[in-house]
């Protein structure tokens, strides 16, 4: 008697999704703090900003490793197509994260060149976040394939759309970082984080609007998926939910709430970018099998 076949694809998809979400959440605010770091008003403030993530920053990249290994182990075909397509932004991202980590440690040990390491920490965070946005934009746009192989060029991922998603993700991580600093600081430094959080939220909303309008026009397959029945029923509430979360986030940044800005930033990013990735209708179906 034959044994029933157990389909592990949904389980591994869930594992991969959880890994990506936890990375965006945990390393997102970590990178966001680094992006905002150079805007701190003085050296004492920068020390407090750095100390707010010191106990946890080096463990957050673990989720990036989990996501990469889960993709390679459970979906080898997807891994074989995606990695050549986004090799350069991923390589630059990893170099930026390494340089950022070195700067974090040397800032305390090389006081003579602390200003240099401050800039290195800040620019490493910005470049790392921007490259992740490039990868996200390339995934939304889809990859050129022939059969079961990537057939595009090494620099195809660098398009106006992916550059836009890169900038949008920098603002998104900045909003997460501002929420974290509001949660962990007080007084004048917390007020400073709230002010930058408002600017970051404006940048996020502009990015969301631009990506939302550009995505369906860039790929007819995505437009068909978004606006066909029954998908339109599923995606129709997303703009409304996004607007409500943005309103709540703006209010929480302007009142004395400490936890709400961080929670709102998480919800804002998740409510918008998940449907964009889910709407990718260009990727060949064998990748998911």
Is residue 2, in this structure, part of any structural domain at all?
Answer: no
Is residue 125, in this structure, part of any structural domain at all?
Answer: yes
pLDDT digits (tens, 9 = 90+) for 32-77: 999 999 888 888 888 899 888 887 777 777 777 877 887 887 788 8
Is residue 4, in this structure, part of any structural domain at all?
Answer: no
Q: What percent of the chain has pLDDT over 90?
A: 24
What was the pLDDT predicted at 36? 93
pLDDT digits (tens, 9 = 90+) for 83-97: 888 889 999 998 998
Alpha carbons 123 and 215: distance in angstroms, whole number: 28
Is residue 113, in this structure, part of any structural domain at all?
Answer: yes
Q: What is the mean pLDDT of the chain?
A: 82
Is residue 3, in this structure, part of any structural domain at all?
Answer: no
pLDDT digits (tens, 9 = 90+) for 10-20: 778 888 878 88
**Can you give the CATH number for the domain in which 134 is found?**
1.20.1630
pLDDT above 80 for 157: yes
Is residue 1, in this structure, part of any structural domain at all?
Answer: no
Give residue 115's domain range: 9-288
pLDDT above 90 for 281: no
Domain count, the chain: 1
């Amino acid at each position: 008697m034959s044994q029933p076949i157990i389909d592990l694809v949904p389980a591994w998809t869930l594992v991969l999704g959880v890994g990506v979400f936890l990375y965006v959440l945990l390393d997102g605010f970590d990178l966001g703090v680094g992006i905002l770091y150079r805007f701190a008003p003085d050296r004492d403030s920068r020390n407090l900003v750095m100390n707010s993530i010191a106990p946890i920053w080096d463990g957050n990249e673990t989720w990036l490793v989990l996501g990469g290994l889960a993709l390679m182990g459970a979906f080898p075909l997807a891994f074989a197509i995606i990695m050549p397509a986004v090799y350069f932004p991923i390589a630059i991202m990893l170099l930026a994260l390494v340089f950022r980590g070195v700067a974090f440690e040397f800032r305390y040990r090389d006081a003579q060149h602390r200003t240099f390491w401050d800039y290195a920490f800040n620019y490493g965070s910005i470049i790392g976040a921007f490259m992740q946005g490039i990868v996200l934009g390339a995934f939304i746009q889809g990859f050129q394939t022939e059969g079961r192989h990537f057939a595009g060029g090494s620099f195809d991922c660098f398009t106006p759309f992916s550059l836009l998603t890169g900038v949008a993700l920098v603002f998104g991580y900045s909003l997460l970082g501002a929420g974290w600093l509001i949660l962990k600081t007080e007084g004048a430094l917390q007020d400073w984080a709230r002010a930058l959080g408002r600017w970051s939220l404006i940048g996020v909303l502009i990015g969301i609007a631009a990506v939302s309008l550009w995505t369906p026009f860039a790929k007819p397959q995505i437009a068909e998926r978004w606006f066909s029945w029954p998908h339109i029923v599923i995606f129709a509430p997303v703009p409304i939910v996004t607007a409500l979360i943005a309103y709540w986030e703006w209010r929480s940044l302007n009142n004395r709430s400490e936890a709400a800005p961080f929670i709102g930033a998480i919800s804002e990013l998740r409510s918008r970018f998940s449907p964009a990735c889910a709407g990718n209708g260009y990727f060949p179906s064998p990748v998911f099998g």
